[in-house]
C-alpha cells in the first residue's frame, strides 16, 4: 500500500501569518490517465471532513483563495497564505491514484 | 444540494452485526462510485470499502474483507454497509462518501461502538 506521510503533526500559527503542510507519498501519485489524485481535506472539531483541494491544486467551490495546493510525483504541499481563526482543525492529504485509497496521518492547525 | 445522511450506528457486542445505511440526494446517485470511510475515536481516516455505479465491482480494506459487505440500491438512492463479526477495533465513526478517488462530499457520520 502507498504510505502517506504528513508533517508537521501539529502546527501552531499566528493569525494573519502563512502556514504550510507537507505530504509525501511512498510512490508516485501520477495515475495511468495522466492525472495525480492527491486531495486535501480539513476536519474541524466535531465535524465531518471537507475537501478543500483536489488533483493537487484545484480548489473546491467556496474554498477561499488563501488556500493553495502544489507539488508533483511524491511531494505535495498545502499552503494557507494568511491563517484565519476558522482555519483551525486537522488537515489530511489523501491519495486516490493507487488501490487502496489512503490518508496521511493528519496535521493539527491551531492558533498560537 | 448534495446530501448524504447515514444511519444505523449504535452499540453492539463483539461478534455481533450491524447494518449502516446512507440516504443520498441532490445528485444522480446511480452515476457515481460510493465509498465508506471510518475514523476511530481520536484517530485518523481510513477508507473501508467502495462500490461501482452498478454494483458490479466492490473493494474492501483487508481488515474487513469477509466480514463487511457494501451494497447499493440505485432506485432508492441508498448505500449500505453490512457489518458482521464485529470487533473492538471496528469502533469508529463511519462516513458515507461520494466518489472513488475524489471524495468530494461526506455525510455527518454514524458512530459504531463494539463493546461488551
Confidence category of residue A90, pLDDT binned at 50, 70, 90: very high
The residues that bridge with B93 in the sheet, in sequence order, are: B39, B111
Strand segments, DSSP code E, in chain B are 3-7, 10-12, 18-25, 34-39, 45-51, 58-60, 68-73, 78-83, 92-98, 110-114
Confidence category of residue B108, pLDDT binned at 50, 70, 90: very high
Instruction: Decide if B44 contacts A106 (C-beta within 8 A).
Output: yes
Instruction: Decide if A19 contacts A112 (C-beta within 8 A).
Output: no
Interface test with B, best of A100, A102, A106, A107 (most B CBs within 10 A): A100
Confidence category of residue A36, pLDDT binned at 50, 70, 90: very high
**What is chain A's mean pLDDT, rounded?**
97
For residues B63-86, one letter each, b for 16 or more C-beta atoms within 10 angstroms of the residue's C-beta and e for the rest, the string is ebeeebbbebeeeebbbbbebeeb
Among B9, B33, B6, smallest CA distance to B19 is for B9
Confidence category of residue A88, pLDDT binned at 50, 70, 90: very high
Cis peptide preceding B97, ω within 30 of 0: no
CB distance from B27 to chain A under 8 Å? Answer: no
Instruction: Decide if A79 contacts A67 (C-beta within 8 A).
Output: yes
Residues of chain A found within 8 Å of residue B109, distances taken between Cβ atoms: 48
**Phi, psi for residue B90 in degrees, rounded to 5:** -85, -5
Q: Tell me the pLDDT tens digit for each residue of B43-85.
A: 999 999 999 999 999 999 999 999 999 999 999 999 999 999 9
Q: Tell me the pLDDT tens digit for each residue of A45-75.
A: 999 999 999 999 999 999 999 999 999 999 9
Contact call for A51 and B44, based on CB within 8 A: no
**Phi, psi for residue B29 in degrees, rounded to 5:** -55, -40
Q: Tell me the pLDDT tens digit for each residue of B24-54.
A: 999 999 999 999 999 999 999 999 999 999 9
Residues of chain A found within 8 Å of residue B101, distances taken between Cβ atoms: 37, 96-97, 101
Contact call for B101 and A101, based on CB within 8 A: yes
The fraction of chain A above a pLDDT of 70, given in percent, is: 100
Amino acid at each position: 500500500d502507498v504510505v502517506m506521510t504528513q508533517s508537521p503533526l501539529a502546527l501552531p500559527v499566528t493569525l494573519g501569518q502563512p502556514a504550510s503542510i507537507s505530504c509525501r507519498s511512498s510512490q508516485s501519485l501520477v495515475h495511468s490517465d495522466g492525472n495525480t489524485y492527491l486531495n486535501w481535506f480539513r476536519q474541524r472539531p466535531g465535524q465531518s471532513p471537507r475537501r478543500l483541494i483536489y488533483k493537487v491544486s484545484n480548489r473546491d467551490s467556496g474554498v477561499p483563495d488563501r488556500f493553495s495546493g502544489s507539488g508533483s510525483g511524491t511531494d505535495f504541499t498545502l499552503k494557507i497564505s494568511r491563517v484565519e481563526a476558522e482555519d483551525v482543525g486537522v488537515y489530511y492529504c489523501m491519495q486516490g491514484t493507487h488501490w487502496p485509497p489512503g490518508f496521511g496521518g493528519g496535521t493539527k492547525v491551531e492558533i498560537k | 444540494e448534495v446530501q448524504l445522511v447515514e444511519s444505523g450506528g449504535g452499540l453492539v457486542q463483539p461478534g455481533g452485526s450491524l447494518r449502516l445505511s446512507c440516504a443520498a440526494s441532490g445528485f444522480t446517485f446511480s452515476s457515481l462510485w460510493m465509498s465508506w470511510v471510518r475514523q476511530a475515536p481520536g484517530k485518523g481516516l481510513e477508507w473501508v470499502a467502495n462500490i461501482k455505479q452498478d454494483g458490479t465491482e466492490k473493494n474492501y480494506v483487508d481488515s474487513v474483507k469477509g466480514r463487511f459487505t457494501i451494497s447499493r440500491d440505485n432506485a432508492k438512492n441508498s448505500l449500505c454497509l453490512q457489518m458482521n463479526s464485529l470487533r473492538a477495533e471496528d469502533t469508529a465513526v463511519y462516513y458515507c462518501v461520494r466518489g472513488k478517488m475524489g471524495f468530494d462530499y461526506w455525510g455527518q457520520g454514524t458512530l459504531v461502538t463494539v463493546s461488551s
